[in-house]
Amino acid sequence: MNRQAQAAVMFLLGAALLHAGGTGLYLRYVKAGLQPLLLASGVVLVAGALATVWYERRRAKTATQEHGHPEPRTSWLLLLPLLALILIAPPALGSYSALRAGTALQKPYALGPLPAGDPAPLSVVDYASRAAFDHGRSLHGRPVRVTGFLALDHAGAPYLVRMALNCCAADAQPVKIALTGTLPPVLRPDAWLEVTGTYSPRLTRDPVNNGPVPYLKVTSARPVPVPHDPYDETWNN
């Protein structure tokens, strides 16, 4: 692959990073905090590609004409991953991955006060941490609102799940809440629900890694669209 072709690939890679970082597509791959680095990388690659083209054109004006060997056409197959990144948005990890990995719930260093509101909006990780490690004391008997996707185990037991990120989707692990109480008549795996309920003292163990899986007593549930950021980044705080 000659310099012009390399510049073209570098430009497309930079454009793909800018596209992913500017549209939210990057959230399918990495955590939200890495957006500035992705955008900066895209700018550098695009600038480098343009500089390469400018340099090659300037050099061509002063260099003697030379005949080089043709480059192998298979080199252009390197464009396929770039086109896939631009044109195809991979789905976020769902119930299939969640049921085959143990819960990543970890004991937090500290638990802050509940957010304002009634019901209090909590992430899956926040509710699970309070229920499993604080035995519901920090919940103060208040109703809570939690959003996640549904997973059904082999016995049909429902879980509300959010995949937690440390860095990127490759290290995503599930945090699970077992559901009891008033549930929708039809439960569809991978459907996103906004669940309102109260603390339940019940606790079960994840069959994959024996990690704690607390219960939430559901009083109401409604389907919601997939959130802009389908992953939870708060599990290691």
Angle 172-77-48 (CA atoms, 0-180°, nearest 5)? 80
Q: Among 18-22, 82-86, 172-176, name the most confident range.
A: 172-176
Tell me the pTM. 0.68
Domain boundaries, the chain: 3-87, 95-223
| CA dist list (Å): 3 to 43, 56, 65, 66, 148 | 19, 7, 16, 14, 48
pLDDT of residue 143: 95
The values of phi and psi at residue 232, to 5°, are -110, 125
Topology annotation, domain 95-223 = OB fold (Dihydrolipoamide Acetyltransferase, E2P) (2.40.50)
Q: What is the pLDDT of residues 53-86, one digit of tens each?
A: 777 777 776 665 555 555 556 556 667 766 666 6
Look at 118 and 10; give whichever has higher pLDDT.
Answer: 118
Residue 86: count of CB within 10 angstroms of its CB: 14
Chain centroid to Cα 127, Å, comes to 19
Report the DSSP pairing between strands 144-152 and 173-181. Answer: unpaired
Q: Is the peptide bond before 143 cis (omega within 30 degrees of 0)?
A: no
